[in-house]
Amino acid sequence: MTAAPLAVTAGEPAGIGPDLCVALAQTPFASKLVVIADPALLAERARMMHLPLSIAIAGEAAGSGDACLTVVPQSLPNPAARGTPDPANARTLLAGLRTAVEGCQSGRYSGLVTGPLQKSVINDAGIPFSGHTEYLAELTNTPMPVMLLVADKLRVALASTHMPLSQVPAYITGERLLAVIRVLHKDLQTRFQIANPEIVVCGLNPHAGEGGHLGHEDRDVILPVVQHCQTDGMNIRGPLPADTAFTPAGGHADAVLAMFHDQGLPVLKYAGFGHAVNVTLGLPIVRTSVDHGTALDLAGSGRADPGSMLAAVELALHMAC
Ligand SMILES: NC(=O)C1=CN([C@@H]2O[C@H](COP(=O)(O)OP(=O)(O)OC[C@H]3O[C@@H](n4cnc5c(N)ncnc54)[C@H](O)[C@@H]3O)[C@@H](O)[C@H]2O)C=CC1
Ligand SMILES: NCC(=O)COP(=O)(O)O
């Protein structure tokens, strides 16, 4: 039996997402994908990038030949203007995500790979939106989605995702941290086939709180949770000072759990920008994404590096099989 294709959402039409889909059409993966996007926009970007592209509309005659993409057509209320996202298109983009999720849940798609969205513009349209991670969790009734970025052997998970830094300390309660660690531990086993994953947990404060002199959360919240998980049999240690947790001094880790977005992701992107993959753990569906944003400055230029999108597709195919 042929495996179900992956759904790929092109993301913000004014950004590089459509360009990345055109790039995917040039690869051997193309026949394993169904792209949710505006076909006219894909054709325009292909022309601008001087790349071949033929489009087969999903449900109609099957496509054939080189550089062929199967597309679920998305009709944007306003034509995409490169570099200038339009809030009027926001609802259509979210509808595309819902179509993809429904398809994953019904078995029509084997997983979802998302192109980058301009989060601010969705909010400008009056729709509260912090990211795919939270939105997909809502659509699938997932209580604790966990953001994990993967670059080669480095895996960095986040205990909190898209929120102002000022809200992070209060957000990281013992209960939430325990839930994040359980999802991370389980998905490292089931999605990454690591039988006994080794997890390193970062502190929140400089020097993991310096014995309580630089903040109390490390000692009062993080340490008890780590000890609890150790008692449960997990191979986990911390809280480690975050400035050394990622270095060889931090020891081997199958995943490092950072407490907040900009504690973990700069390290990951420094190590692997351009081929790293964002994976949402805890969901009942496979979802991967690029390691970068909409790069509005590069849309249609042909200079967007498709490496992360290719890696996201490869990992999703691997996880879905
Ligand atoms: N998965 C998603 O939907 C994500 C969305 N975003 C959103 O993207 C928007 C823009 O975010 P920024 O912080 O400006 O980050 P960005 O990643 O879009 O751009 C940062 C810099 O990296 C460059 N860059 C990004 N991707 C590239 C690629 N594939 N090839 C070559 N150069 C590339 C850009 O040209 C820019 O100079 C924001 O609204 C943010 O929320 C950001 C990350 C992930
Ligand atoms: N910096 C990572 C990021 O913003 C990913 O967001 P999303 O996958 O939740 O949309």
How confident is the model over 296-305, as pLDDT tens digits?
999 999 999 9
pLDDT of 139 strictly over 80: yes
pLDDT of 62 strictly over 80: no
pLDDT of 65 strictly over 90: no
Measured from the CB, is residue 305 less than 6 Å from ligand 1?
yes
Q: Which ligand is nearest to the CA of 10?
A: 1
Q: pLDDT tens digits, residue range 208-225?
A: 999 999 999 999 999 999
Total Cβ atoms within 10 A of residue 302: 13
Measured from the CB, is residue 131 less than 6 Å from ligand 2?
yes
What is the percentage of the chain residues whose pLDDT exceeds 70?
100
**Rounded to whole angstroms, how far apart are CA atoms 61 and 279?**
33
pLDDT of 151 strictly over 90: yes
170-192 average pLDDT score: 98
pLDDT of 63 strictly over 80: no
- Residue bearing tokens 């973990």: 264
* pLDDT score recorded for residue 61: 72
pTM of the model: 0.96
* pLDDT score recorded for residue 1: 59
* pLDDT score recorded for residue 206: 97
Q: pLDDT tens digits, residue range 96-108?
A: 999 999 999 999 9
Measured from the CB, is residue 20 less than 6 Å from ligand 1?
no
pLDDT of 191 strictly over 80: yes
**Rounded to whole angstroms, how far apart are CA atoms 7 and 97?**
9
* pLDDT score recorded for residue 321: 87
134-154 average pLDDT score: 97
**Rounded to whole angstroms, how far apart are CA atoms 263 and 249?**
17
Using alpha carbons only, what angle is made at residue 255 by residues 150 and 274, rounded to the nearest 5 degrees? 15
Q: Where are the alpha helices (DSSP H) in 8-55?
A: 17-25, 39-49
Domains and CATH numbers, the chain: 1-142+283-320 (3.40.718.10), 144-282 (3.40.718.10)
Residue 27 tokens read as 């690869």
Look up residue 276 and give its amino acid: A
* ipTM value: 0.98
* pLDDT score recorded for residue 250: 87
261 labeled binding residue: yes
Q: What are phi and psi of 64, to 5 degrees?
A: -150, 170
Q: What are phi and psi of 7, to 5 degrees?
A: -90, 135
262-275 average pLDDT score: 96
* pLDDT score recorded for residue 299: 98
pLDDT of 19 strictly over 70: yes
List, edge to edge, every strand of the sheet that includes 154-158: 54-57, 68-73, 33-37, 6-9, 111-114, 287-290, 277-281, 146-151, 154-158, 255-258, 198-202, 235-240
Look up residue 212 and give its amino acid: G
Q: Give the number of the atom of ligand 1 that is nearest the alpha carbon of residue 16.
A: 29
- The region, left, alpha or beta by phi > 0 then psi within -120 to 50, assigned to residue 241 is beta
Q: What mean pLDDT is reported for the chain? A: 96
Q: Give the number of the atom of ligand 2 that is nearest the alpha carbon of residue 261.
A: 1
Q: Which ligand is nearest to the CA of 261?
A: 2
Assign 249 a pLDDT band (cuts: 50, 70, 90).
confident
pLDDT of 121 strictly over 70: yes
